[in-house]
Structure 1
Amino acid sequence: MTALDQDRVRKILDGVVDPHTGAGFGGCVRAVGVDGARVSVDLQLAYPVQGAREDLSRRAREALEADAAIDSAVVSITSRVQSHQVQGKLAPLAGVKNIIAVASGKGGVGKSTVSANLALALAAEGARVGVLDADIYGPSQPRMLGAEGRPDSPDGKTIEPKTPHGLQMMSIGLLVEEETPMIWRGPMVTQALTQLLNDTRWNALDYLILDLPPGTGDIQLTMAQKIPVAGAVIVTTPQDIALLDARKALKMFEKVEVPVLGIVENMATHVCSNCGHEEHIFGEGGAARMGEQYEVPVLGSLPLDIRIREQADSGAPTVVAMPESDLTARYREIARNTAARLSLRPRNKSLGLGKVVVQGAPPQH
């Protein structure tokens, strides 16, 4: 295939916009093959895309076959997750490519439920995913993910994460009784969080979801100073008071130089369990307006649905309890949008080849 032919194919693909990144496919081409008027293309995306692979492949194929010189096209799509830049001079965590913080300005907006289902959705899309429950005072991930028992410590210094539903998960809730209150001052809380993060034996994760407590207190400050975070997701409801606090969380991430990947609007509508009628009981369009104001996208919206609450309470969140449902489809779209937005960030240059030593030529005899 001549260089002109390759350029033609790449130009066509560059005009096909990936709905998750907003960029053309031209930069994702790994290989192009031509046999007469037949074309084959290999694309490699930088985010997990299991649930949308067929749709994206169809978009690219149709664009290629619309060209008069191409009779048929075959497009294959793979994905490879890279490690991305973190705040300040922090180094990536061993065994973890990217940490994504999930935050809210106030409690009661469903942040932990979104965190659990986001992690499961990323895993369903083909990524290796973990969850760190950073809410020391009110850990909920063990109950939501159905994790039981104390974690093992093979060497007395590090701990093995629990693996509910194929995720790697750690929480202070696994180390204390469920009804035991954590009556700790700020320094003890921050020390507990950093120990949970650093002493857990995370194994080759693409993404570690950090489920933060609400607000902008000690835990958030520790995160900004000591935890290498690649991006953040803000969870809010359409209610004005929730949006006000969500704005505070977003501004906090701006101050600590953690990029906000987008906003998830939870409880956007209420779906009646009897008749299916959908209504905006908390207001409408608030997240979209907030996104426009701060130039961050709305990653997706979720309804107030009794099944989401019931499934999280039972230890089998929606993504695993109802994998073929519309609710799960929404979570998986949010997961793809989140990972795709992160894929547009600069890569982490500290993950290089290490120190390269160049030796001189051997002495002549």
Structure 2
Amino acid sequence: MIKCATCAVKNKCLKDMKCDLIKPKYGKIKHVVGVISGKGGVGKSTVTGVLAVQLRKLGYKVGVLDGDITGPSMPRFFGLEKERTGYAPTDVENVFKFVPVETGLGIKTISMNFMIEEEEPLLWKGPVLGNVLMQLFTDTDWGELDYLLIDMPPGTGDVAMTIMEQFPVDYLVMVSTPQNMVSMIVQKVVNMAEKLEIPVKGVIQNLSYIKCNHCGEKMNVFTRNTAESQAEKMGLPLLAELPINPDFSEHLEAGQAERFAATNPEYDVIMEAFRNDEQEIYARNKAVKKKTIPFL
């Protein structure tokens, strides 16, 4: 399969053709967004869940694909770890489609942990992981979605590259924490996205601060550098800062993270950067088309 980034005639075709990208067989997805980090443990899956909740609050139809196949976390975020994926017949004999598990807010979710026991490891290598992930995307009955968020594995490995090369990703959202070491590794992912011609919308800094229970002052725990300055070093817009919140951790452990993220105004800030999303995507695609017209 020829990739757009290496195609000899890439300047002669339009972006909306997406001739080399996989498509869902059962449903229609308007926007696909990859959520990624440079390393694990920065709260990428939490940010994916919070973003999904906030988009749902605005009335969008939202789905989540747990793309971190060897370390799936989305069922636990939504309190659905005991649920199992359903299967439904298709128009083709002996061919079935996955039925996603829906959260309390109606977010459609698919994950390998809906198919195996939570503590069972997957002893698969890169090509198999990539093929399984593509099947989860193409063979799930998504219905009509405004947004599908992909909780991507951290780093620049095989699965992350498969998503960037073969999925119809509109853009990536980077997740980081205040430490300089994390920012350095995030830059590797940013550079990979640039080489593969995947737009990066910006960075969400998680665990950015802790708020005093008495006076409400924000205190930086990991560094004195501001989130804005760290985002500037990465060459990315700062989309939002999310706090260290012990109450959120308690709700997560109790399987109530979705409800907490939906009712706590601290997390509404994450949506400010997405309010003009459709206009930005349209403008970016239109700009690409304008650029290619002279070569037709």
| Coarse TM-score class (shorter-chain normalised) | 0.7 to 0.9
* Match in the other structure for 1:180: 120
Partner amino acid for 1:90? L
Q: Distance in 2 between matches of 1:105 and 1:322?
A: 24
Give the conservation status (yes or no) of the 8 Å contact 1:100–1:232: yes
Is 1:252 matched with 2:192? yes
Matched residue SS, 1:267: coil
Residue in structure 2 matching 1:321, options 242, 260, 283: 260
Matched residue SS, 1:234: strand
Deviation string 1:319-344 (CA, Å, 9 cap, x unpaired) is x3254433232233354366664454
Partner amino acid for 1:141? M
* Match in the other structure for 1:226: 166
Partner amino acid for 1:234? M
Residue pairs, 1:1-365, within 5 angstroms: 89-90=20-21, 93=24, 94-147=27-80, 148-155=82-89, 156-164=95-103, 165-273=105-213, 276-285=216-225, 287-293=227-233, 295-317=235-257, 320-321=259-260, 323-336=262-275, 341-346=280-285
- The alpha carbon displacement at 1:192 in A equals 1.4
Which structure has more relative contact order (CA 8 Å, sep 6+)? It is: 2
* Match in the other structure for 2:6: none
Q: Distance in 2 between matches of 1:86 and 1:231?
A: 16
Partner amino acid for 1:127? Y
Q: Aligned pairs, how many?
A: 266
- The alpha carbon displacement at 1:276 in A equals 4.2
Q: Distance in 2 between matches of 1:270 and 1:86?
A: 46
Matched residue SS, 2:31: strand
Distance 1:309 1:334, change over 3 A: farther
**Identical residues among aligned pairs (%):** 35
Q: Distance in 1 between matches of 2:178 and 2:19?
A: 33
Between stretches 163-172 and 273-282, larger displacement belongs to 273-282
Distance 1:173 1:253, change over 3 A: same
Q: Which has the larger radius of gyration?
A: 1
Q: Can you give the 5+ residue segments of structure 2 that lack an aligned partner in the other structure? A: 1-14, 90-94, 290-296
Give the conservation status (yes or no) of the 8 Å contact 1:99–1:230: yes
Deviation string 1:243-293 (CA, Å, 9 cap, x unpaired) is 111111111111111100111011111224566442111124454234434
Partner amino acid for 2:21? L
TM-score by length of 1: 0.66
Deviation string 1:129-158 (CA, Å, 9 cap, x unpaired) is 100000111101011112232211111521
Give the conservation status (yes or no) of the 8 Å contact 2:173–2:201: yes
Q: Distance in 1 between matches of 2:50 and 2:191?
A: 25
Q: Distance in 1 between matches of 2:127 and 2:61?
A: 32
Matched residue SS, 1:202: strand
- The alpha carbon displacement at 1:302 in A equals 0.8
Q: Distance in 2 between matches of 1:95 and 1:162?
A: 17
TM-score by length of 2: 0.81
Distance 1:180 1:91, change over 3 A: closer
* Match in the other structure for 1:13: none
Partner amino acid for 1:162? V
Q: Distance in 2 between matches of 1:152 and 1:227?
A: 23
- The alpha carbon displacement at 1:196 in A equals 0.8
